[in-house]
Amino acid sequence: MYNAASLRRLPRPMPLLLLVAMLTVMLGGCALPRVGVYKDPLTAEEHLKLGLAYEQKGETDLARREYTEAARDVPQGHLYLANLLFSRGETREAEAHYRKALAGLPDDPTVCNNLAWLLLQENRSLDEAERLAQRAVEHATPEQRSSFEDTLKRIRAAR
């Protein structure tokens, strides 16, 4: 059982509560980091233009960043990013972005042609490459037609 001496040794709740209250007041007054919501002032088209400007200057890392931003909103961003990655020899990642562009722009002749060309360069999925190249030719503008027909002929020759 408890005796009077052991009861005196038990902590009193008042000082503990006072300490907790003081810490709460002190820490509550500290500045906490604010979470801000970033609103991008540029449109997707502006990111694409900026990316092109960077790419023309040879600043491909900055171009990649801008194309990635554009790709969040428009499939053309994936096309531009894929073209950049392909030019840098990053074919697997380029293919993934061509496919994302193709999902958003299924009849875009440039997307179809560029993915077909990548598959030809990798010497794989030539049946798919031929179908894509054929679609590119079918939807090509007069200015694009001869270049896209060349892709189709090369794919057929490789098969």
pLDDT at 1: 54
pLDDT at 44: 95
Rounded Cα–Cα distance for residues 105 and 77 (Å): 11
Whether 4 maps to a domain, the answer reads no
Could you report the per-residue pLDDT of 110-133, keeping only the tens digit for each? 999 999 999 999 999 999 999 999
pLDDT at 2: 53
Whether 18 maps to a domain, the answer reads no
Q: What is the mean pLDDT of the chain?
A: 88
| Closest CA relative to residue 155, chosen from 98, 105, 114 | 114
Residue finishing a domain among 105, 125, 143: 105
Q: Is 134:103 a contact under the CB 8 Å cutoff?
A: no
Residue 90 belongs to domain with CATH number: 1.25.40.10
Same domain, 90 and 111: no
Give the pTM: 0.75
Same domain, 85 and 125: no
Tell me which residue range forms the domain holding 116. 107-159
